[in-house]
A = this chain, B = another copy of it.
């Protein structure tokens, strides 16, 4: 399989596959005589693994750790779970922040008439509002 076909079956763009290789997330692909990268079974599985982990928001660095664990027969499920739990906690933290922002914005827009006149509580809040962050 050339890189284009690999991209198609894994959902990882060709450019991104080359990028992953360049940063060492995946080993250098074997090359055909013409210099084209060549992908087979395990390469494809690895790219799919990466794609699924990335879609769940793991950083590329964490995906590297997950890949190492995946390939390590002596791993403990506890080590994998720890990584996942840490990630869940990060995701939840981010959700809380966004929800807090959301509530503040909704409060502000509710108070803005959204008409032809210049008066706007949103701008007023930005101009004179408290220095505290969004309400938690």
A residues at B contact (CB < 8 Å): 11, 45, 48-49, 51-53, 55-57, 66, 69-70, 72-78, 80-82, 84-85, 87-88, 91-92, 94-95, 98-99, 101-102, 104-106, 108-109, 112-120, 122-123, 125-127, 129, 131, 133-134
**Nearest CB on B from A131, distance (A):** 6
Contacts A55-B133, A57-B98, A123-B69: A118 and B75 contacting too (C-beta < 8 A)? yes
Docked pose: A13 CA to B133 CA in angstroms = 16
Are the C-beta atoms of B115 and A77 separated by less than 8 Å?
yes
9 more A-B residue pairs beyond the given contacts A52-B126, A76-B115, with a C-beta to C-beta distance below 8 A: A52-B125, A53-B126, A56-B101, A76-B116, A76-B117, A77-B116, A84-B122, A88-B106, A92-B102
Number of copies of this chain that the complex holds: 2
Whether A112 lies near B56 (C-beta < 8 A) is no
Q: Which residue of B lies closest to A121 (CB)?
A: B77
Q: Choose among B52, B57, B108, B122 the residue that contacts A129 (Cβ–Cβ < 8 A).
A: B52
